[in-house]
């Protein structure tokens, strides 16, 4: 063979071997040994040590955190790029273009934005022989894992050991039609209480599922004082609703314009998928006869067990939890039906044999759902008769595990048979005449007991709390009295003091002599009893209207002074007004009218984040907290000698452009000329304008008033706090 030919063949063989080595190397790059052994392909963009090169990728985010088992509501300040703090990452910077921010002013935000994932890059070297880390889940895999570990399936599993829903319908439901309403009460042998149809809307949400509960049964309970006595027995009425796919409910309930004393005007219970997950939660605000946006109710979801010691009683015993409602306030004719609307748990008979897995003889185990801060009322019944109602004490250590034994957040509740002694006596006026219809309520014990005096002024309590140390007596014609008393005293003699102040006013315009037809009256009363007796109480403001300018004000305590307020008039302070019904003639002088239309702001931090009302309405709203809006206000000259005024209160009215928790409050900071002066807490309502009020002190001349909302709250498609400034007034006060 020619020498050159042999050399050529050697070169070709060398090239073939080089190509083969290169192919093997490429194959190793595509199918790494560690991943291939696990049956997983190599993921481009992830190097051997698990780190990613180039920009951050969304599928490299941490895995889903373990689900919390407590029932706290979501954080009150979930700042997001839309609706969150401007300082948060991802929020549009001030002055950003519509493509960077949320659109031009007047175009409401379409939803909360989320940042996109970064671009993928190819690996650049790295130690490919190092130990391999597990592949991180993709966003879709994380979402599915979260759905399984939270969501409705997890909620249903968590609630599996809670009691079944009880039959709440029964005769506690009443027709909202007036004729049928009255007919139903008369059939029960009760004088029909006045009923006012009241529209309500609301939403039931789950912290576990992070969404509204669909097809849940909502039991709205309203309470009517018997025979018009606010502190006496109550008649319960239940109206049932079904939630839609998002957990919303809407409808109308009958309600009482006379609010019960020391008891909620309404409460809510919830059953879902055959489980009673909310026994009874008080509704704090209900505008009777008006549209009510009750907001979002978070259903407690941690099952708990409470051991009840009933060994001191005999009979066919059972225990019932009525949530946060004291069953003893319910009228005797309706008490059995009321308790029957909640799940009951039998007490093991005292003569029964002890069995494993069952409560010991004389004991019962009550199971329910438990929310933070709740302290349920527990009733012991013998058949349908109520024997005792008590509240447990918190346990020193509470387990919140959702599997295994149920947590026991309370100490064993012992129903004592001999711890109660009756109380009774008589209530009379200063002349010794018996007073009928006086409401006598116990003070000092964990449970308040109430009785109403009869025609002879007598009252009686069969089983007051053993720690009772006083009786508070109220009557619609007398100033309330606190009288020391102990259980076991059945000859208590209580004398009512002065009658309630009755103040009559005739208010006219000084210049035109025309009657002033609406008025705000700020009342400062004196403490009627206790260590602060005779000292000033916090001021309360009442709104009154009278076409002829004649007003009647009856107050439950002695009145120290009143201030008459009317926008556009100088205020009038009256110290120790006549309280015997003698009419007082008042002339108000026209003064400064300081009312601002919120949409007409002077300056704003970022204009494209504020949205005025349509059709030139007065309001303006934003979905972003920590974004200020400012108004230039001329407070005028300081008052002249002898003229009342010069001090100002700010009155800010707000609504929520969305739906939030039923107890959520806007927190708004008030600035004057860049200096923070006050903070207002205003109840959020999607329908009714709610007001906050605070004193700004002495003001004159032109000042800049800045408003800044500070506590955004948001869950996608479920909950959204967006503040709308509806009214803004500055009421002048006397010096």
Q: Which domains does the chain have, with CATH numbers?
A: 19-62 (no CATH), 160-414 (no CATH), 423-495 (2.60.40.1120), 502-588 (2.60.40.1120), 595-733 (2.60.120.260)
CA 388, CA 385: separation in Å to the nearest integer? 9
Please say whether the beta carbons of 330 and 233 come within 8 A. yes
Average pLDDT over residues 317-343: 92
| pLDDT score for 270 | 93
Between 354 and 78, residue with greater pLDDT? 354
CA 199, CA 202: separation in Å to the nearest integer? 11
Between 690 and 12, residue with greater pLDDT? 690
Q: At what angle do helices 139-149 and 151-158 cross, to 10 degrees?
A: 20
- Reply yes or no on whether the pLDDT at 113 is more than 80: no
In this structure, what DSSP letter does residue 499 have? B
Written as six digits, the tokens of 228 are 């018009």
Residue 170: band (very low, low, confident or very high) from pLDDT cuts 50, 70, 90: low
| pLDDT score for 411 | 93
Alpha carbons within 13 A on the beta-carbon side of 636: 16
Strand partners, 683: 665
Residues in CB range of 727: below 8 A, 6 or more apart? 595, 598, 618, 651, 652, 653, 689, 691
Residues in CB range of 233: below 8 A, 6 or more apart? 225, 226, 329, 330, 331, 332, 452
Average pLDDT over residues 369-377: 83
| pLDDT score for 57 | 34
| pLDDT score for 208 | 76
What count of residues does the chain have? 735
List b or e across 45-77, with b for residues whose CB sees 16 or more CB atoms inside 10 angstroms. bbbbeeebeeeebebbeeebeeeebebebbeeb
In this structure, what DSSP letter does residue 10 have? H
Please say whether the beta carbons of 313 and 350 come within 8 A. no
Average pLDDT over residues 461-466: 82
Average pLDDT over residues 134-152: 69
CA 37, CA 267: separation in Å to the nearest integer? 60
Percentage of the chain modeled with pLDDT above 70? 78
CA 580, CA 632: separation in Å to the nearest integer? 45
Average pLDDT over residues 56-79: 38
| pLDDT score for 76 | 40
CA 428, CA 419: separation in Å to the nearest integer? 29
| Residue owning tokens 């509501």 | 73
Evaluated on CA atoms 261, 196, 437, 557, the torsion sign reads positive
pLDDT, tens digit, 9 for 90 and up, residues 215-230? 999 999 999 998 888 8
């Amino acid at each position: 063979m020619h020498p050159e030919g042999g050399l050529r063949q050697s070169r070709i063989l060398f090239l073939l071997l080089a190509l083969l080595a290169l192919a093997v190397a490429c194959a190793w790059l595509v199918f790494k040994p560690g991943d291939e052994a696990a049956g997983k392909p190599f993921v481009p963009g992830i190097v051997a040590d698990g780190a990613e090169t180039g920009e951050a990728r969304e599928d490299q985010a941490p895995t889903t955190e373990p689900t919390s088992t407590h029932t706290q509501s979501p954080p009150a300040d979930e700042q997001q790029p839309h609706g969150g703090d401007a300082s948060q990452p991802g929020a549009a910077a001030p002055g950003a273009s519509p493509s960077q921010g949320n659109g031009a002013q007047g175009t409401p935000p379409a939803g909360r934005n989320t940042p996109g994932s970064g671009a993928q890059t190819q690996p650049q070297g790295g130690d490919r022989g190092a130990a391999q880390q597990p592949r991180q889940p993709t966003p879709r895999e994380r979402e599915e894992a979260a759905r399984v570990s939270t969501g409705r399936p997890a909620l249903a599993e968590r609630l599996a050991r809670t009691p079944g829903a009880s039959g709440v319908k029964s005769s506690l439901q009443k027709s909202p039609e007036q004729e049928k309403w009255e007919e139903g009460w008369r059939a029960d042998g009760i004088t029909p209480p006045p009923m006012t149809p009241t529209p309500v809307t609301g939403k039931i949400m789950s912290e576990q599922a992070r969404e509204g509960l669909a097809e849940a049964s909502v039991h709205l309970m309203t309470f009517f004082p018997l025979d018009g006595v606010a502190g006496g027995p109550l008649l319960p009425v239940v109206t049932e609703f079904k939630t839609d796919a998002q957990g919303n409910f809407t409808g109308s309930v009958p309600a009482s314009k006379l609010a019960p004393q020391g008891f909620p005007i309404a409460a809510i219970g919830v059953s879902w998928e055959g489980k009673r997950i909310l026994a009874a939660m008080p509704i704090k605000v209900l505008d009777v006869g008006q549209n009510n946006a009750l907001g979002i109710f978070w259903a407690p979801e941690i099952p708990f067990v409470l051991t009840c010691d009933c060994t001191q009683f005999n009979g066919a015993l059972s225990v019932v939890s009525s949530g946060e409602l004291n069953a003893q306030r319910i009228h005797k004719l309706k008490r059995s039906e009321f308790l029957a609307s909640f799940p009951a748990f039998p007490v093991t008979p005292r003569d029964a044999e002890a069995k494993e897995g069952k409560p010991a003889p004389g004991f019962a185990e009550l199971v329910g759902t438990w929310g933070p801060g709740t302290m349920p009322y527990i009733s012991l019944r013998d058949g349908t008769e109520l024997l005792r109602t008590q509240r447990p004490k918190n346990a020193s250590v509470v387990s919140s595990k959702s599997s295994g034994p149920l947590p026991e957040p309370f100490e064993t509740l012992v129903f004592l048979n001999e711890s109660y002694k009756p109380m009774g006596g008589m209530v009379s006026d200063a002349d010794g005449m018996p007073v009928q219809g006086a409401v006598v309520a116990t003070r000092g014990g964990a449970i308040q007991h109430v009785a109403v005096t009869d025609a002879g002024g007598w009252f009686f309590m069969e089983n007051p709390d053993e720690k009772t140390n006083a009786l508070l007596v109220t009557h619609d014609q007398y100033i309330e009295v606190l009288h020391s008393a102990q259980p076991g005293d059945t000859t208590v003699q209580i004398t009512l003091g002065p009658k309630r102040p009755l103040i009559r006013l005739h208010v006219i315009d000084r210049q035109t002599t025309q009657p002033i037809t609406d008025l705000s009256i700020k009342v400062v009363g004196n403490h009627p009893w206790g260590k602060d007796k005779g000292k000033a109480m916090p001021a309360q403001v009442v709104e009154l209207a009278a076409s002829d300018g004649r007003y009647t004000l009856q107050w439950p305590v002695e009145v120290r002074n009143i201030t008459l307020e009317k926008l556009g008039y100088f205020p009038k302070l009256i110290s120790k007004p006549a309280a015997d019904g003698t009419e007082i003639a008042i002339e108000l002088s026209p003064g400064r009218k300081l009312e601002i239309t919120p949409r007409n702001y002077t300056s704003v931090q970022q204009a494209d984040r504020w949205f005025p009302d349509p059709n030139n309405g007065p309001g303006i709203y934003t979905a972003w907290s920590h974004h200020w809006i400012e108004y230039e206000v001329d407070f005028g000259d300081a008052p002249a000698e002898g003229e009342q005024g010069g001090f100002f209160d700010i009155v800010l009215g707000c609504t929520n452009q969305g739906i939030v928790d039923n107890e959520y409050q806007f927190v708004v900071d008030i600035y004057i000329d860049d200096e923070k002066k006050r903070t207002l807490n205003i109840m959020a309502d999607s329908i009714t304008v709610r007001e906050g009020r605070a004193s700004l002190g002495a003001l004159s001349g032109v000042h800049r008033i800045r408003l800044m909302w500070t506590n955004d709250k948001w869950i996608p498609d479920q909950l959204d706090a967006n503040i709308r400034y509806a009214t803004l007034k500055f009421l002048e006060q006397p010096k």
